[in-house]
């Protein structure tokens, strides 16, 4: 399928659609437009009752303006400016707008609930339908996902040390930080039966 006027070919975001794409002849749509931009950014998370993420979300800003409250305080704003400055210094990562020195760069191993944090990000790294694409020249991994929120979660896991890099027919492979040795190790797990003590309940496809 190809849209000549815009010079845009069809693009499959999941391999599950490949067999069905050849059967498509006509597309009918009643969509008239939307006010959302259909994007998702990983900004904050709550793990074991602790909130992580130093940024202020758009929802918080809007609620603060409406209620004229002190939700976005002066030091929060200055802190956010510092965060944006540090993020601008490095290449922007689509879907990832998170910073918190408590769990970034492997610092999560020093947190009181390090085991829960490890399970949280491991689940983000493996519970999805995204397809990894590894750049042979740089070794960087990018993802093709069915939805922006799914992509944001797996990208967040990658940026925080749990990099999903290969999906086989019966297994998933990740690179993770070993909290004991401090080294980056490769882990491969069955897609259909994972160690429940390590990753909790896993959704099979």
Number of neighbours of residue 119 by Cβ within 10 angstroms:
17
Nearest-angstrom CA–CA distance, 177 and 159: 12
Tokens of 113: 């609930």
d(CA 176, CA 164): 9
Q: How far is C-alpha 10 from the geometric centre of its chain's CA atoms?
A: 24
Measured CA to CA, the distance from residue 74 to residue 54 in angstroms comes to: 14
Say what angle helices 114-126 and 148-159 make with each other, to 10 degrees: 130
Q: Strands (DSSP E) along 48-183, which ranges?
A: 50-52, 131-134, 141-144, 162-167, 171-177
Name the 3-class secondary structure at 184.
Answer: strand
Q: Which of 7, 25, 30, 135 is catalytic?
A: 30
Active site residue 178: no
Catalytic residues: 30
């Amino acid at each position: 399928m190809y849209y000549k006027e815009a010079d845009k070919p069809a693009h499959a975001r999941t391999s599950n659609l490949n067999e069905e794409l050849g059967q498509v002849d006509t597309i009918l749509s009643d969509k008239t437009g939307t006010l959302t931009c259909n994007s998702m950014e990983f900004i904050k998370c709550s793990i074991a009752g602790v909130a992580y993420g130093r940024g202020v979300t758009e929802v918080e800003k809007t609620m603060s303006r409406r209620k004229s409250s002190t939700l976005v305080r002066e030091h929060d704003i200055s802190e956010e400016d510092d965060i944006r400055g540090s993020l601008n210094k490095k290449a922007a990562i689509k879907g990832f707008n998170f910073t918190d020195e408590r769990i970034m760069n492997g610092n999560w191993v020093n947190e009181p609930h390090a085991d829960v944090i490890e399970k949280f990000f491991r689940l983000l790294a493996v519970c999805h339908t995204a397809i990894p694409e590894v750049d042979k020249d740089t070794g960087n991994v990018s993802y093709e996902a069915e939805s922006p929120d799914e992509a944001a979660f797996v990208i967040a896991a990658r940026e925080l040390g749990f990099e999903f890099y290969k999906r086989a027919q019966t297994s998933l492979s990740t690179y993770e930080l070993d909290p004991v040795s401090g080294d980056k190790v490769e882990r491969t797990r069955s897609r259909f039966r994972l160690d429940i003590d390590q990753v909790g309940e896993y959704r099979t496809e």
